[in-house]
Amino acid sequence: MKLRFAHNNINVFDLDKSIEFYEKAVGLSVVRRIDAEDGSYRIVFMADGESMQQLELTWLREKETPYNLGDNEIHLAFRADDFDAAHAYHKGLGVIIYENPDMGIYFIGDPDGYWIEIIPTR
C-alpha cells in the first residue's frame, strides 16, 4: 500500500482575497471549484501546475468573523528556484512577516494569518 499527499486544507474568511493572494504571492492557479447547492460553502483547489500537491481553500457562509489562529503553528512551505528574486518580490508585496537568515528561510503571511515558509531549492 502506498499513500501520497493529495492536498492540504485551510479555511479562509474572504475566498476572493485568498485566491488573489495565492495566485500573486506563490503562483498557484485555481484547478477546481465546488459550490454547495445551498450556498453554505465554497471549496477551491489551487495547484502550482508541477507537483501533485494541491491547496484546498474552504469558505463557510456562516463564518462572520475572521478566523482566530491562536497558537496555531501550522504552515505551508514553498521552494523557490530563485530565492533572492522571490525574497525581493515578496518584500515588494509587503507580505514578509518573519525572516531567519541563519536558516536561510523567510515566511510570508496570507490574508487569514497563515504562514507560508519560503525555502531555497537545495
Catalytic residues: 117
* Dihedral, 76, 81, 82, 86 alpha carbons, nearest 10: -30
Cell of residue 42, nine digits: 465554497
CA distance between the termini of the chain: 30
* Residue 11, C-beta contacts closer than 8 angstroms, at least 6 positions apart: 57, 58, 59, 60, 63, 67, 112
